[in-house]
Amino acid sequence: MADRIYQLIIVGGGPGGLTAGLYAARASLDVLLVDKAAVGGQVLLTDWIENYPGFPQGVSGFALADKMSAQANRFDLPQILGQVASMNLYGEVKSVLMADGKTLKARAVIIATGARPNKLNVPGEEEFAGKGVSYCATCDGPFYRNMRVAVVGGGDTAVQEAVYLTKFAKKVTIIHRRDELRATPIIQETAFRHKRVDFICDAEVIGIDGQKEVGGLRLRYQDGQEESRPFQGVFILIGVTPNNETLTGTQLEMRDGFVVTNCMMQSNIPGVMAIGDIRADSIRQVISAAGDGAVAEKAAEMYLEHLHNNTQAVTQHRKCTCR
């Protein structure tokens, strides 16, 4: 129905959105999950996951997303595929405007649109994604035990993750295009003191080489000189971009493009929650996104109950004054 008002709309079908949808469907809420493509989010592109509880031997990203989706479908979670164009989130009834011109309405909204890692966009990057090219040291570090790996980037995250990788890798080389790192001094000092961390500055990666997996990087220095260096893996840690294009004009409180929430995943707009990678302070892990989804759904239930109680109170008051 064109004028239907759902209790809850979830925008985004990654692990967080699917978990929120599972909880909502199981709680018999009138819920709808909206995703622009096949549900699963970026986890579908993850080759292997070793740190998700319940899978002692690990699980492929596709298989994990498939199991999450199947569990949500067991409780008949309604889902539609479509591109969201924009949202109007103020007021008791929120609107989700679709690219095809349709408008979906709900009393509460959970935003689970995620974020995407910034890429170098060089030859070999796409070809070797999941085969030596990674964007998450916490996710993939254990796969590189006793190997030589490179970390591309010079900010806090890149340098911290480089030090973290020394738990597994034989040698970690930080490659930065400038002559000085951008990381805070105390983080830099930790890396400088570490025996298994070295540095290549004033250089940019212009290509990733290999056969079936990454075998090395092609570098270009500021003086124009080029060379190839052998590496068995490369972690590209040059930041992430929030998928917030549909949130323009919503008056959500943002920090660096990510939605600011409290511990219950609630934003500054009543009835609007944000979860997973789109949320400020997210650690960007599958398990944390799923946890966010559970918390946000409970926050949505409390908000809807509050609305219901207020409506009943107003109705009762009107009946009394009319008598």
Catalytic site residue 136? yes
Quote the pLDDT of residue 323.
43
In the numeric block, which tokens belong to residue 250? 């919503």
Under CATH, to which class is 5-117+240-322 assigned?
alpha beta
Contact indicator for 76, 82 with CB cutoff of 8 Å: no
Residues of the chain with pLDDT under 50: 1, 320-323
Q: What's the pLDDT tens digit per position in 200-254?
A: 999 999 999 999 999 999 999 999 999 999 999 999 999 999 999 999 999 999 9
Cα distances from 159 to residues 57, 127, 156, 194, 226, in angstroms, run 30, 25, 5, 11, 24
The answer to whether 113 and 11 are in contact (CB under 8 A) is: yes
In the 8-state DSSP scheme, what is residue 55? -
Topology match between the domains 5-117+240-322 and 133-236: yes
What per-residue confidence (pLDDT) applies to 322? 45
Beta strands in 36-134 (DSSP E): 79-81, 84-88, 94-98, 103-111, 115-117, 133-134
Instruction: Output the pLDDT for position 41.
Output: 83
Per-residue pLDDT tens for 241-288?
999 999 999 999 999 999 999 999 999 999 999 999 999 999 999 999
Q: Catalytic residue among 136, 156, 201, 209, which?
A: 136
CATH superfamily placement of domain 133-236: FAD/NAD(P)-binding domain (3.50.50.60)
Structure tokens that stand for 264 in this block = 């219950």
The tokens of 55 are what?
């899978």
List Cα–Cα distances, 139 to 100, 227, 277, in angstroms.
Answer: 37, 29, 14
Question: Does the CA dihedral 187-240-269-5 come out positive or negative?
Answer: negative
Does the annotation count 322 as an active-site position?
no
- The number of helix segments (H) and strand segments (E) in the chain equals 6, 19
Q: What is the pLDDT of residue 308?
A: 80
Write down the residue that tokens 């129905």 correspond to.
1
Write the DSSP string, 113-149. --EEE-----TTTTTTBTTTEES-HHHHGGGGTT-EE
**What strand order describes the sheet that includes 197-200?**
133-134, 233-236, 148-152, 171-175, 197-200
End-to-end CA distance of the chain: 36
Select which of 35, 139, 277, 292 is catalytic: 139
Give residue limits of the domains in the chain: 5-117+240-322, 133-236
Alpha carbon distance 256, 157 (integer Å)? 15
Q: Is 263 tagged catalytic?
A: no
- 185-193 and 156-165 helices cross at what angle (nearest 10)? 30
Alpha carbons 51 and 44: distance in angstroms, whole number: 16
Do 42 and 14 touch, CB atoms closer than 8 A? yes
Can you tell me the distance from the alpha carbon of 119 to that of 42, in angstroms, rounded to the nearest whole number?
A: 14
Token pair listed for 152: 């591309």
**What distance in Å separates the CA atoms of residue 201 and residue 177, rounded to the nearest whole number?**
6
**pTM of this prediction?**
0.86
Asked if 172 and 153 count as a contact pair (C-beta separation under 8 A), the reply is no
Residue 225: both structure tokens together: 């000189």
